[in-house]
Structure 1
Amino acid sequence: AFVKPSARDDAWYRFDDEQVTRVTEQDAVADNFGGPAPGAQRDAVLSHFRCANAYMLVYIRKSAMHRVLCPIEYDDIPRAVHERFEKERKQNGMPKDAAEAHIYVSVKVVDPALLAQHSDFDLIDFNTVPDVRFRRLDSYQTFTQQLEELLKIPQAEMQFWKWEPRLNGTCRPSFYIPNPTNDEVAIEKVFLLPPKSKEPLHLFVHGSIPTPLLPVNCSVTSLASLATATSHTHTDKGCVLLFLKAYDAAKATLMMLGLQIVGLNTSLSELFAIVTSSIHELSMDTSYDVYEEVRPSLVERLDPQLTVDQAALEDGDILIFQPQKKPTFRRGGSRFEHPTREGDVPATQAT
C-alpha cells in the first residue's frame, strides 16, 4: 500500500508488511497501473512489464484534506487498538524495543573535539563513543538539527564520512557522504543503510575548520573545499582526507593535531607548516621525521619529499610527525613504543 500521510508535503510511503519506506510520487502513483516498464521494447518479455496495479483508490475532498490528513497523536488511537498491539507483542515474546528495532538506527558520531581527547594509536576507541538513536525515516534536516545541538557544529557546515573497516583490522573514516540536495530525504537513504540491519552506523562529522597560516607556495586545501567534493575517492576528487599527529619523544606520547584535506601533488614536507602552527614552541623552519600509522603499534617511515600520491596515501590515513631534534626517547618503561629517530625505531614497530 502507498500512503501520503500529510497534506503539507509531497512525501509518499510504501507499506509492505512491517517495512515502511519513503518513495517518490512516481513510485507510488505512475508505476502502479501496469504496462511496460520505462525503456522496455515492444516485444520485450513479461519481466520487462510492470506487474503492480492499483486495486483500491481513496480520494479525499480538497476542502477536507487538512482535517482528514491532520497529524495523529497517541491519544487519537483507540484504546482497543493499543491493547491489541500490546497483546500481540506479548504473544510473540518480543520486548517493545526489539519489536521496533527495525524502525531505528543506532549512530556513533565522532567529531574533531572527540578525536582531540584521544592520545593513543588509531583515531578513537568506539567504546567511549555514546550511541544516539534515530528513526531510519528521520529526515536529514531533523538528523543534522539534533547533531548541531549535541556537537555545536553549525548544521550548514556539516560534512560526513562513514567509517570503513580495512583488511589490516583498522577502521577509518574514508567514505565521503555528499550532502543531499533535498534536506527532507530519509537518513537511511543518505547514509546507505542496509534494510533491517541492526548494526550501528559509525560516522565522522566535521565543520569548516580555519586553515592554518601557511607559506604562499603551500598547496594545502582548506577543509571547506569538501563542500564541492563529488566523491570519496582520491582519484577523482584530487585530494585526500588525512589525520595529523605529533610524537613527543621527551614524553613518549602522541598528540592529535587535527585533520586536513590535502592535494595529491602536495609533498609531505609541505605539511610541516601545518604541524608547526599547532605546536607553538617550535620554530617555523622545524623539520620532521614522517611516519604513516598503518595500524596500532605498526608505523612506516616515509620520505618527506614524496608527494601524497607517491606515498599512496588514502582518505582516512594517519601521519605522525616527529621534530628532528636530539632524541630523548628512553628505552623501556614507557607506555608506548612510538617511532623515534632513525636507528632507535624498534624493528617490530616501523619499517
Structure 2
Amino acid sequence: GDQWFKFNDERVSRASPEEAIDSNFGCNDDPPAGGGGGGLGNRRGPVQKYARFSNAYMLVYVLKSKASELLAPLGPGDIPGYLVRRFRKEEEMEELLPLLMKVQLVFEGVLDAHRDVDFVRWDRATLIQVRKSDTVADLRRIVAELSGLRECDQMLWQFSARQNGTTRVDRVLDERLDGEMLEVVKGESSVPDPLRILVLDGRGQQGVDAERDVYVAIKYFDQLEGELRYLGAIFFNRETLIGDIAETFEGKLGMGGPGGDRLEVYEELTKHQINPADVEQTLEEARVGNGDILVFQRMRQNQSTEDLKRAIDNHYANLRDMVEVFVRRIQEPDDNLFSLQMNRRCRLDEVAERVARGMLEHGVAPEEVDPNRIQLYRHNPRGK
C-alpha cells in the first residue's frame, strides 16, 4: 500500500511516499521555473533536486516455500560462463597488480606544445604499466613500440619531485643500469607513483658528458602575444655564460646587433618564483642544473627591467589562475560539449561570452548565441 518505513541500526520510523520514492529513486531534472538559481544573477547555483540516499541497506523477501530452493548452495552450472571468465580475469588482475608499476612517458612533442609553468603538464603524458621486475631494456622496447624510436637512439630521463613542489628531470637511465626497474629508479628513496620518464631522441647526443654538461629547458615569454613558449631543452657546458646563451637565442629570434633589442633572462624556480638571472655568471655559478628552466623576455628600447619583471610576474600569476572548464547541457550533465581554458577570476558575464563563442566554434550552435540568453549552472558531480 502507501505505507512506507525507513530504518537504521536503532529504529524504524514512518516515511511519506514522496520521501521514499522521489527522494531515493528519481527526481525532476528540469531547470527551476522562472530562471532562478545558477544564472548570471545568482552565484549560489540552482536549487538541486538530486536524490537523497537515507541508508545503504537492502532487504530481500523470500517466500518460505521457495527458501530452500533460492538459498541452496550454488552448483557449477548456476553461474553463467561469461561471469566465471570475468571473475577469473579480475582475480588474475588483483594478483598481478602488486607486481606492476605505473609509468608516465613524456615525448618531445608534448614539450613542444607546452605553454604552462614547470616542465610539462602531466595530463598530457602517456600512461603505461610495467612489471617491477622489468629492466630498463624492457622499458626501451615498450618506448620503441609506442614511438618508433629505436632502442639504441633513446635517451631516457627520470623525473624527480623537488622540495619546492616542482618536478624536473634528474638523471639519465642508461644501458649500464641493467637491474630490475624498481631497484634502478628508487635509489635511496621510494619510487614515485607513477614513475615519470622523459623520452628524447639521443641521436647527436653521444658527446654529452654527465659530469660536464647540464640539460636546461628554455622558454620565451612573448609579451605582445601574452604567451609563454617552449623553445627547447639543450645540453650546455656548466662553464657556459648565461649571457652567451641569451646572445645565441637573440640571433635565432632575429634580435641583437648594435642598438637592437635584447633578451632579459630569468630562472623559473617555481610557479610562484621567477628570478632575474645574472648574465655574467656561468651556469655552474648560478647553480643551474639538470631540469632547470631559463625564461627569455624581449627587452625593447623603451622598456625598463622593472616593466619587464612586472609583465612576466603578471603572466605567471595568470597561468596559476588558469583552469579547464568543461561545458555541458543541463539536460545531459555527464557529456562534455567542449572545454575552455579560463581564468578562475573571470566574471560570470565573461564566462557567458566565452561559452557563447565556444558554442559557435565547436558547432554546438548553428549561429551566434547571445551571451545574455545563456543561463549558467554550477555542476555538482556528487548530486548533493
Q: TM-score, normalised by structure 2?
A: 0.52
Q: What is the alpha-carbon root mean square deviation over aligned residues? A: 3.4
What letter matches 1:150 in structure 2? Answer: L
> 149, 160, 164: which one pairs with 2:145?
149
Structure 1 residue ranges without an equivalent (≥5) = 1-85, 211-222, 230-236, 329-339
Q: What is the aligned partner in structure 2 of residue 293 from structure 1?
A: 268
Q: What is the aligned partner in structure 2 of residue 302 from structure 1?
A: 277
Task: Give the drift of 1:167.
Answer: 1.5
Match runs of 1:180-219 below 5 Å: 180=176, 185-192=179-186, 199-208=193-202
**Closer/same/farther in 2, CA of residues 315 and 272 from structure 1, 3 Å limit:** same
Task: Give the drift of 1:277.
Answer: 5.9
Structure 2 residue ranges without an equivalent (≥5) = 1-82, 315-384
Task: Give the drift of 1:115.
Answer: 0.7
> 236, 239, 244: which one pairs with 1:270?
244
Task: Give the drift of 1:327.
Answer: 6.5
**Closer/same/farther in 2, CA of residues 240 and 176 from structure 1, 3 Å limit:** same
Q: Is the 8 A contact 2:159 2:196 kept in 1?
A: yes
Deviations 1:232-265 (A, max 9, x none): xxxxx12221101111111111110111111221
Tell me the distance in 1 between the aligned counterparts of 2:97 and 2:192. Answer: 7
Secondary structure in 1 aligned to 2:140?
Answer: helix
What letter matches 1:345 in structure 2? Answer: K
Secondary structure in 2 aligned to 1:204?
Answer: strand
What letter matches 2:148 in structure 1? Answer: K
Query: Is 1:251–2:225 an aligned residue pair?
Result: yes
Deviations 1:29-72 (A, max 9, x none): xxxxxxxxxxxxxxxxxxxxxxxxxxxxxxxxxxxxxxxxxxxx
Tell me the distance in 2 between the aligned counterparts of 1:157 and 1:176. Answer: 13
Tell me the distance in 1 between the aligned counterparts of 2:162 and 2:197. Answer: 16
What letter matches 2:125 in structure 1? Answer: V
Q: What is the aligned partner in structure 2 of residue 104 from structure 1?
A: 100
Q: Is the 8 A contact 1:104 1:133 kept in 2?
A: yes
**Closer/same/farther in 2, CA of residues 299 and 181 from structure 1, 3 Å limit:** closer
Q: Is the 8 A contact 2:216 2:290 kept in 1?
A: yes
Task: Give the drift of 1:198.
Answer: 8.2
Q: TM-score, normalised by structure 1?
A: 0.56
Deviations 1:107-163 (A, max 9, x none): 101122211111111111212213111122234333212202322333212222221
Q: What is the aligned partner in structure 1 of residue 287 from structure 2?
A: 312
Tell me the distance in 2 between the aligned counterparts of 1:156 and 1:327. Answer: 50
Match runs of 1:1-351 below 5 Å: 95-180=91-176, 185-192=179-186, 199-208=193-202, 223-226=205-208, 228-229=209-210, 237-276=211-250, 278-279=252-253, 281-282=254-255, 287-326=262-301, 341-346=305-310, 349=313
Q: What is the aligned partner in structure 2 of residue 34 from structure 1?
A: none
What letter matches 2:277 in structure 1? Answer: L
Identity level (%): 19
Q: Is the 8 A contact 2:297 2:308 kept in 1?
A: no
Task: Give the drift of 1:197.
Answer: 6.4
**Closer/same/farther in 2, CA of residues 284 and 225 from structure 1, 3 Å limit:** farther
Tell me the distance in 2 between the aligned counterparts of 1:119 and 1:148. Answer: 27
Tell me the distance in 1 between the aligned counterparts of 2:192 and 2:129. Answer: 12
Deviations 1:68-127 (A, max 9, x none): xxxxxxxxxxxxxxxxxx99xx79xx8543321122111101122211111111111212
Q: Is the 8 A contact 1:290 1:304 kept in 2?
A: yes
Tell me the distance in 2 between the aligned counterparts of 1:205 and 1:315. Answer: 15
Count of aligned pairs = 228
Deviations 1:265-315 (A, max 9, x none): 110111125424653x44677631000001114200012111111211121
Q: Is the 8 A contact 1:257 1:275 kept in 2?
A: no
